[in-house]
Amino acid sequence: MKTKKRDLKRELILKTVSQIVSEEGVEKLTLEAVAQKAGISKGGLLYHFPNKDSLILGVIEQLSNHFVEGFNKRANDDPHSKGKWTRSYIETSFFGESDVNDLYTAISAAHFTNPEMLQRLQYEYSEIQNKIENDELDPVRATLVRLAIDGLWFAEMFGLAPPKSDLRQKVIEQLKVSIQEVK
């Protein structure tokens, strides 16, 4: 029971970190701000995360684990082997259980506070890219789909003229079609 309560508190803290960074910006991420917004004492926060870097790393680990688990599950549940990893990347990115925007918020925070924290994500992305390149599809086309998805995320994350909802949906549908054409 104690472990479950500790896990729930940890989850609340990590969600609070994502919320602060996405709503107020990484410059507003402080231990005091997290403790206050999460409704816990600073000592309680420090029990779970001894510093700001550990907070950000915790968010990255949690969200990337959720993303990778969803990505692998979708691909493994796909009855068609050809293109399953690329389809899974599309589906997990836009329709996954985890909040991909929170993941990119955490990446942004890590990049600005401690670029070495990105090493885990770099490893996981290299694994994803390897699966996409060996997906029984043209590896160039499959990689273009992945990079288009990533570009859409970054445009949305940084407000770099992201497409309006109708156009965004058409872009996603076109990415799906481009994979279907090569089945």
End-to-end CA distance of the chain: 49
User: Per the structure, how many domains does the chain have?
Assistant: 1
The per-residue pLDDT for range 32-84, each reduced to its tens digit, is 999 999 999 999 899 999 998 888 888 878 878 888 999 999 999 999 999 99
pTM over 0.85: no
CATH number at residue 127: 1.10.357.10
The per-residue pLDDT for range 76-97, each reduced to its tens digit, is 999 999 999 999 999 998 876 5
Domain that holds residue 31: 2-180
Tell me the three state secondary structure of residue 132: helix
